[in-house]
Structure 1
Amino acid sequence: MTDLNRIVEFSTSAIPEKDRIAVWREHYGQMMFRVDLEPARDRSFEAKFSTMALPGLQLVDGTSSPVRISRRGVYLADGNDDILLCYNRSGSVTVTSGGREQDLREGEAVVLSGGEEAAFHRKSVGQSYTIRVPRPLFESSVISVGDVVMRPIPADRGALRLLSSYTGWLFKAAGAGIDQALMNLSVRHVHDLLALAVGPSPDFADTARTRGLRAVRLKLAKSYVVANSHNRELSVVSLAASLNVTPRYLQRLFEADGTTFSDYLLGQRLARAHRLLCDPGADHRAISTIAYDVGFGDLSYFNRRFRRQYGLTPREVRGDRT
């Protein structure tokens, strides 16, 4: 088990096969989530989970062999009534609670109450994630808990797909280091997207749509640009396609943030070039090579925009190291 910033990771790979179930039940089941584990009897138990606990939010992303995870009996006595969204990324899953049973296909989700007996039965190897929020926070934005518990959420619901992408981004951002203010804002975004995926109350719907969807899409768009700014084929069209929005909608997101897609992309490329030029370990690389590697296709344009941005030429930034 490892702890990376706010992320706790658990894997059975380093545990002897004969001890895996006992270790999982003690450390993951009893201590962290108050659930029991019943692995398939015809194969070795294998699992890998990453969990992240934040104020008002807990995320769990995991892969496992066939297993039944249940919350009942003594575990219910703790009085915890958090609300959980269980999302099936891959594989076959059946969820039961309150006398109802629901099969989840890939990309589908269902809401459960921590205060009610429930079971998550993974029938094949697969991946899932769980979002856990305090009941009062959930009830403040959703029509009625009773109306949404055990009601399947279809895979084609846009807010659910975006929620899946955003929680994946949040794990990566937390692992790389993210300041507390941004983390707090991200938690609010998850709450908004969760409400939109499940079904918000009428007075919350517009707020969530405006504050949640737009903010999350812009953050994902910026994250995508940062990760792919070196690609000279990156365009507003290709980025819009990756987010399932129109190029014009994407342009409006950047404009509402006080910039444009082109200017943001240019800024990322220039910033990366500046970091490389200031890095003594990159002195062996020609300035032209750096320009092309960060995404510029024209050296003259790179030099011109670099000087406009930093008030110095690339060669001057390197200073007396060349």
Structure 2
Amino acid sequence: MEQVTSRPRHVIWNTAVTPPDEQFSYYREAICQAFMNLTPESATTSRFPAKVEAIKIGTGAINRVVFPEHTVHRSRADIAASTESCFYLNFKLAGRCRMLQGDSEVSLSRGQVGIVDSDREVTLLHDRGPMLEVASFWVPSRALRDRLPPSFDFRAERVSDDPHVGHLIVETARSLNAGALRMAEEDSIRLFDVLLDLVALSLSRRSRAQTAEAAGFADATALALRRAVHERMREPGLTVANVARAIGISERYVHKLFERAGTTFSDYVMDRRLDGAARDLSDPAKVDQAIGSIAFDWGFSDLSHFARRFKQRFGCRPRDWRAR
């Protein structure tokens, strides 16, 4: 069962409305609705008093959950059945939660904030109390990843431990949890963005060496990208997909690297092609080669389009450029 983004802004599920032997099943359906596909396990098959409250905040949400001790898994099957991905940013309000993801184990006690990735298997062990409570922020993956270096290596982490911004993360999470329904929705969205900025800052600070490595990786990838473009510059049907496939990165990352350089893929290709054509038109050795032939050699398939773009870039028609 997937998170339903078209539901009302505020929804509450309470197992008290169901018979005792159906309460855990009801709870399982509720957290799948609020979070995404999850597989909870309980030591009891009888009474399971629990309450799930979901509050939408833009594309994210706060899910407040009160429950007895139990375990929650995000399995391979759960991940495969999901059409979305997110981060769970958990603000522990009562009891303890141990978050196990890969080779990382993070323990959260009251007042601490930790984060896990929904795209990787994770186990959440909730214990130490008859009734436990957590405010879990449902963060769309892109909303956080766009704030981090492209090659950021994510792992489960207790971000409230950060010596510089950890206390700000806790207080922002506390304020947003307490005031989400009292403040205007646009204000809650702004505060949610502040929380994500702080979390991204904490994650990025984890290792300055990692950040430097990410920047070095981006520079090396950008160099490989430009080389791949230049090698294919004369191909009329050159696309982002062609060069992305050639160097093994996503089309989105191709666009991001060009944006980082202050341009776009199409503008970069157009400028390089026009520069190449201008050089050939000035080359005495090619004086007898037709202008149309030079244009086609540089990947242009429409001569009038070539002439128009050439004049926009150099201020004169191709034949006038050659005559100079």
Q: What's the CA shift for 1:121? A: 0.9
Residues 10, 54 of structure 2: 8 Å contact kept: yes
Q: What's the CA shift for 1:49? A: 2.4
**Cα distance change on mapping 1:69 and 1:56 into 2, 3 Å:** same
**Cα distance change on mapping 1:106 and 1:198 into 2, 3 Å:** farther
Residues 93, 104 of structure 1: 8 Å contact kept: yes
Residues 160, 167 of structure 2: 8 Å contact kept: no
Taking the aligned partners of 2:109 and 2:150, their CA distance within structure 1 comes to: 25
* 1:94 equivalent among 98, 101, 106: 98
5 Å-filtered alignment, 1:231-310, equals none
Which is higher, the Rg of structure 1 or of structure 2?
2
- 1:116 is matched with which residue? 120
Taking the aligned partners of 2:21 and 2:153, their CA distance within structure 1 comes to: 43
* 1:53 equivalent among 48, 52, 56: 56
- Report the aligned-residue RMSD: 3.2
SS at match of 1:131: strand
Q: What's the CA shift for 1:95? A: 1.1
SS at match of 2:192: helix
* 1:169 equivalent among 149, 169, 175: 175
* 2:192 equivalent among 163, 168, 187: 187
Alignment size in residue pairs: 199
- One-letter code of the match for 1:28? I
| Per-residue Cα deviation, 1:266-307 (whole angstroms, up to 9, x for no partner) | xxxxxxxxxxxxxxxxxxxxxxxxxxxxxxxxxxxxxxxxxx
**Structure 1 residue 62 and structure 2 residue 101: aligned?**
no
SS at match of 1:33: coil
- 2:87 is matched with which residue? 83
**Structure 1 residue 129 and structure 2 residue 135: aligned?**
yes
Could you tell me which runs of 5 or more consecutive residues in structure 2 were left unpaired when the two chains were aligned.
1-6, 209-324
Taking the aligned partners of 1:89 and 1:157, their CA distance within structure 2 comes to: 21
SS at match of 1:49: strand
- One-letter code of the match for 1:151? E
Residues 99, 106 of structure 2: 8 Å contact kept: yes
* 1:38 equivalent among 26, 36, 41: 41
SS at match of 2:54: strand
* 2:145 equivalent among 130, 133, 139: 139
Taking the aligned partners of 2:54 and 2:163, their CA distance within structure 1 comes to: 25
Could you tell me which runs of 5 or more consecutive residues in structure 1 were left unpaired when the two chains were aligned.
203-322
Q: What's the CA shift for 1:18? A: 1.0
Residues 36, 70 of structure 1: 8 Å contact kept: yes
Residues 110, 149 of structure 1: 8 Å contact kept: no
**Cα distance change on mapping 1:59 and 1:18 into 2, 3 Å:** same
% of aligned pairs identical? 16
Residues 35, 138 of structure 2: 8 Å contact kept: no
Taking the aligned partners of 1:106 and 1:156, their CA distance within structure 2 comes to: 16
TM-score of the pair, normalised by structure 2: 0.52
Residues 97, 150 of structure 1: 8 Å contact kept: yes
Q: What's the CA shift for 1:145? A: 7.5
